[in-house]
Structure 1
Amino acid sequence: MSPLALLRRVGQAVLVLFLAYTAAYILLAALPGDAILARYGAPELGLTNEQIAEIRASYGVDRPLVLRYLDSIWAFVRGDFGYSVQSGAKVSDLLAESLPSSLTLAAVALVGSVFLAVVIAFTASYGKGVWLRRLFRNIPPFFISLPVFWVGIMLIQVISFQLGLIPVIGASEAESLVLPALTLMVPIAAPLAQVFLRSIDEVREQPFVAVARARGASTSWLLWRNVAPNALLPVMTMAGLLFGELIGGAIVTEAVFGRTGVGNLTAQAVANRDTPVLLAVVVIATVMFVTINLIVDLLYPVLDARLRQRGGRGSGSAVPVIATAAEATSLTEHASADGADHRTSPEEDPR
């Protein structure tokens, strides 16, 4: 990626962050009710109207909306997320306590989702037997139809209560990560597997694959040298886009498993209309989203030789990365290690 293209992508990321923050700020400001009055206006607290007014002034809610918005943007640029209305603690401290747990969960779930999607797609495309391939092609639609909370409850019931593999109480840090990660993997792996399956089918119909097959390349050679590198490109983009769902899924997952994290913090902030916390979560989630997509853009030229030559990102469609004329000619020599007869038989190629 050229420096100009990189600057353009960074500019787009900043624009997305700005629009997301602005939309969240306007929507939260439009909600009815007064979070500060609900928190500090209870008679048992014994606060006078003057004291409540001072609290409102300390949060700046007595100022015009436009001024509050501009001040909040400048504060966020400086890394100042303000104070929680509910607890009075610094929002940055609350995030520092909950963010590592959620990031670990999201990272494990994302990596596991990609791995699960690859296994499903490869088995559905190259599995032995028509029945096996049909079975695995029906797994992604089934996974998509499963609610996240139901998956979590079923995993607890089966793995913890029935099999006793992971204790519900007193589990180690690694053990407590397994079930929530599996819960998040199911809805994320399903669309990834669907995209990967479609991509594999498209790549296998490309002329360069037909040429390589006609020259005697084995199924394993075609898969790992030609099909997989090209088919993975759309999956990388999809994984970046689906990362936002991990944040949303974490809210339900952490509630089901009682984990301390950003999801649990967000649920409490929504219940209490804790605007500073909600805005901070929106910013953090958006930053992670645009950062991952920027990383995906930077990785595209590594996998796609065309982009290394052109210095930019292509359309994302499946195209040959390595099928040059010279390499197509040498395929027969490289494929010799796979057997004496290098022609692809119907048993080798499920199609």
Structure 2
Amino acid sequence: MLNFLVKRLLGLLPTLVIVAGLVFLFVHMLPGDPARLAAGPEADDATVALVRADLGLDKPMPTQFVNFFMRTAHGDFGISTRSKRPVSAEIGERFMPTLMLTLVSMVWAVIFGMTIGIVSAVWRNKWPDRLGMTIAVSGISFPAFALGMLLMEVFSVKLGWLPIVGDGSWRSYVLPSITLGAAVAAVMARFTRASFVEVLNEDFVRTARAKGVAEQWVVIKHCLRNAMIPVVTMMGLQFGFLLGGSIVVEVVFNWPGMGRLLVDAVAMRDYPVIQAEVLLFSLEFIVINLVVDVLYAVINPTIRFK
């Protein structure tokens, strides 16, 4: 296991180098002049040229990439062209709101989704199964922005129960977390059902039932652990998508997180912030995949990494 972890950690470096190169090229292909946007619409050409030189955009593209790569290797993501603050400070302020929203969304989505999936698998082709899968399909099919606006209209505008924007209380997490986690809960329900249906047909489950083991213990003790490996894989991927894909929800609810910061950075062509956020999202996916691989051995000790 230790050798596996070391190899995976060393494998981070070339992956991040490739991602950094692709991000740099992608950002510089965006239409619009960041120097013009930073200088303002009333600035003349001389002022724009001074701003471009100050941002380092007057240098050749290879030189810009080398400077970007060297600064990133030392943990320096530069200065935001929009706020004139260090990018690390900008991201540091926005990371915790996004992380907390993602954790809340993931917790309820996993609990709700796995419960529906297990119930649907145990009573497959019966009314609990049909009801659960109908809810799951509805959750996948309904767009996040439409669900968010519908929830705000009903629970904030009409009923006045919950705040529209974040106010720091637990109540402000309810609507955004439901909006963000709805699709994840639906995917978890369908994936858990498929995994449990496959395990329920295994020989060891029929043997346990033949020995007179109660059905709830068959499901909890014999099926749950064996069905969790593909479910854990999906959980890891969905957590990564939530952490890096909460842009729409944060914009709808004006949430002060990284998704909203990325939208503002793209609008202002804030190259340093865009590059740093995309690199951070890529690193998050790599780390989450590593954690998922380690959890395989915890769930099923028969798995050995070579």
User: Is the CA contact (8 Å cut-off) linking 2:233 and 2:292 kept in structure 1?
Assistant: yes
Structure 2 CA distance, aligned partners of 1:40 and 1:129? 64
Residue deviations 1:40-81, cap 9 Å, x none? 1532x5x661x5334322322122212211221221121111
Matched, 1:208 2:204: yes
Q: Is the 8 A contact 1:160 1:166 kept in 2?
A: yes
Q: Does 1:12 align with 2:11?
A: yes
1:142 aligns with 2:138: yes
Q: CA deviation at 1:21?
A: 2.4
Partner of 1:330: none
| Counterparts of residues 132-281 of structure 1 (less than 5 Å) | 132-168=128-164, 171-281=167-277
Return the match for 1:59 from 35, 38, 55.
55
Distance of 1:162 and 1:33 partners within structure 2: 41
Partners of 2:97 and 2:256 within 8 A in 1: yes
In the alignment, the residues of structure 1 paired with residue 265 and residue 294 of structure 2 have an alpha-carbon distance, to the nearest angstrom, of 35
Task: Give how far 1:118 is off.
Answer: 0.9
- Secondary structure of the residue that 2:164 maps to in structure 1? coil
Partner of 1:322: none
TM-score, scaled relative to structure 1:
0.81
Maintained 8 Å contact 2:247/2:260: yes
In structure 2, the residue matched to 1:81 is 77
Pairwise CA distance, 1:244: 3.4
Query: Which whole-Å CA distance do the structure 2 matches of 1:142 and 1:287 have between them?
Result: 32
C-alpha distance in 1 between matches for 2:229 and 2:12: 20
8 Å CA contact 1:240–1:296 kept in 2: the answer is yes
SS state of the match for residue 306, structure 1? Answer: coil
**Structure 1: distance between partners of 2:166 and 2:53:** 44
Note if contact 2:240-2:288 (Cα within 8 Å) is conserved in structure 1. Answer: no
CA offset digits 1:111-130 (Å, max 9, x no partner): 22211211111221235992
Q: In 2, Cα distance between the equivalents of 1:172 and 1:266?
A: 21
Distance 2:29 2:216 in 1: 58
Q: Decide whether aligned partners of structure 1 residues 172 and 69 sit closer, same or farther in structure 2, where only a CA change above 3 A counts.
A: closer
**Mean Cα deviation higher: 126-135 or 88-97:** 126-135
User: Does the aligned pair in 1 maintain the 2:165–2:253 contact within 8 Å?
Assistant: no
Secondary structure (helix, strand or coil) at the match of 1:88 reads coil
Contact 1:184–1:249, Cα closer than 8 Å, also in 2: no
The Cα shift of 1:189 comes to 1.5
The question of whether the paired residues in 2 share the 8 Å contact of 1:124 and 1:137 is answered with yes
1:135 to partner: Cα distance: 0.9
Match of 2:30 in 1: 31
Query: Aligned pairs, how many?
Result: 306
Displacement, 1:289?
1.6
- The offset of 1:89, in angstroms, is 1.7
1:40 partner amino acid? A
User: Shift in Å at residue 274 of structure 1?
Assistant: 1.1
Q: Are the equivalent residues in 1 in contact too, given 2:80–2:87 (CA < 8 A)?
A: yes
Q: CA separation of 1:80/1:161 partners in 2, compared to 1, >3 Å: closer, same or farther?
A: same
Displacement of 1:91 in angstroms is 1.1
Equivalent residues of 2:165, 2:254 under 8 A apart: no
Aligned-partner Cα distance in 2 for 1:311–1:294: 12
Hey, what's the Cα distance between the residues in 2 that align with 1:140 and 1:236? 18
| Paired residue type of 2:135 | I
CA contact (8 A) 1:148 1:249 kept: no
Q: Distance in 2 between matches of 1:151 and 1:16?
A: 36
User: Does the CA contact (< 8 Å) of 1:101 and 1:261 recur in 2?
Assistant: yes
Deviation by residue 1:171-221 (Cα, 9 ceiling, x = unmatched): 542111111111111011222221111110111111221222222222111
User: Structure 2 length as normaliser, TM-score?
Assistant: 0.92
Q: Is the 8 A contact 1:40 1:52 kept in 2?
A: yes
Letter in 2 for 1:110: M
**CA separation in 2, counterparts of 1:91 and 1:4?**
35
What RMSD, in angstroms, separates the aligned Cα atoms of the two structures? 2.1
Q: Which runs of 5+ in 2 are unaligned?
A: none
What's the offset of the Cα at 1:151? 1.0
